[in-house]
Amino acid sequence: MTSTTALMVGGTVELESLIPVVCDAVTSVHTQRAYSRALRAFLVWYAEKPCGFCRATVQAYRAHLEADGAKPSTVNQALSAIRKLAEEARANGWLDDSVARGIIELRGLRQLGIRQGNWLTKAQTVKLLEAPDAATLKGKRDRVVLGLLVGAGLRRDEAARVTVEQIQEREGRPVILDMAGKGKRIRTVPVPRWLATDIGVWREAAAIAEGFLLRPVDKAGRMASGDGHMSPAGV
């Protein structure tokens, strides 16, 4: 395949068929939904363009998003999805390597300024962590849920997947081993001592010796049968 031919292949139908493949390449369901939405929006715009799938086309789309008032984070997420689309198009023989590389190496927008939001004070954080009723089984579990999010900095889906076997001692401190995050990156997550204590209280109360740490608890305060874990939505 020549570079000239490559510029004109990868029509809308072919590229649209790669969206599920692109989404399967990321682990987060939230990122999957965002990529799918971003790629479908791109292909609607792309279908009206006379040129093929190439760097110049993607640059034109980036300019279109900016002119439309899209935030830099939105533009960069769209570009990230399009880069992965180019990778898959190359793998399927629809794009010449040099054309795909031109898209993949296209940089996003710089994001300047300070992130906005409502930040909790230390006192508010403590109040949040102590909000669940520690006298109930659900309260014991929910203290661990909040601890994993606030104290260990896990995402919802990561917290839902933590297992008892991953919680170990390393160099005299508790950690969560082999935590798979975004992009399938593996890391070791430090666990505060107070959270390790809460985990021990929850495990003893729920009689959890192995498997997933966070288990469903019904409205009556009973733990669900089986060894399934909480869903990210549940967290």
- Per-residue confidence at 11, pLDDT binned at 50, 70, 90? low
**Percentage of residues of the chain with pLDDT beyond 90:** 59
Which domain range does residue 98 map to? 3-104
Identify whether 226 is part of a domain: no
pLDDT of residue 149: 94
φ/ψ bin of 85: left (φ > 0), alpha (ψ from -120 to 50), beta (otherwise): alpha
pTM of the predicted model as reported, rounded to 2 decimal places: 0.56
pLDDT of residue 2: 37
Check whether residue 18 and residue 57 sit in a common domain.
Answer: yes
Check whether residue 8 and residue 100 sit in a common domain.
Answer: yes
Q: How much is the average pLDDT of 135-155?
A: 94
Check whether residue 37 and residue 78 sit in a common domain.
Answer: yes
Exposure on the CB side of residue 47, measured as CA atoms within 13 A: 10
Residues 14, 15, 20, CA angle at the centre, nearest 5°?
105
pLDDT of residue 76: 93
Number of neighbours of residue 28 by Cβ within 10 angstroms: 17
Q: How much is the average pLDDT of 143-159?
A: 94
Identify whether 224 is part of a domain: no
Query: How do residues 215-232 score in pLDDT, each as one tens digit?
Result: 999 888 888 777 788 899
pLDDT of residue 112: 63
CATH label of the domain that carries residue 78: 1.10.150.130
Query: How do residues 62-71 score in pLDDT, each as one tens digit?
Result: 999 999 999 8
